[in-house]
Amino acid sequence: MIARRSDWDARLSEYLASVRRKPFSWGQHDCALHSANAVLTMTDTDIAAAFRGRYSTAQGSVLALSRYGAGTLDATVDTMLPTIPPSHARRGDLVWTGEALGVCDGTTGLFVGQEGEAEGLVTIPRAAWQRAWRV
């Protein structure tokens, strides 16, 4: 069982601030590693240890999931964290839009992407989430 540290909220805030404008990069700062880094920050448990350094492209991420995961990103997260209804997600839990994994920040999720000219974290409202996992 993964447990949050007593100072998880402050640590999560610091992590999110540090990547707020960090551009997307496969195998460095993509949705899977962004979410795993948030979990690592809050818990000291690296749920992406098997995947880190194993891909640097979209195709490579698919191959890494087929070799080391459950085939898809959401199915892989299913093997690591307990599933919860998206309506029950709280700050720090992981959320899924059907295409991307992000971190719940209350009523919105923070995902790696681009809004207009700005790259970094983008917000997606709770209504768009299809799945969620408790951290």
pTM, two decimals, is 0.95
Q: What is the pLDDT of residue 67?
A: 87
Q: What is the pLDDT of residue 68?
A: 84
Length of the chain: 135
The rounded distance, in Å, linking the Cα atoms of 100 and 58 is 13
One-letter identity of residue 2 = I
Name the packing angle between helices 31-43 and 8-19 (round to 10°). 150
Among 3.40.50, 3.50.40, 1.10.730, 3.90.1720, name the CATH number for the domain at 8-133. Answer: 3.90.1720
Q: pLDDT (tens digit, 0 to 9) for every residue of the chain, 135 residues total?
A: 799 999 999 999 999 999 999 999 999 999 999 999 999 999 999 999 999 999 999 999 999 988 888 889 999 999 999 999 999 999 999 999 999 999 999 999 999 997 776 789 999 999 999 999 999
Q: What is the pLDDT of residue 114?
A: 77
Distances (CA, A) of 106 to 69, 76, 92, 109: 28, 24, 8, 7
Q: What is the pLDDT of residue 94?
A: 98
Distances (CA, A) of 114 to 14, 118, 124: 21, 6, 12
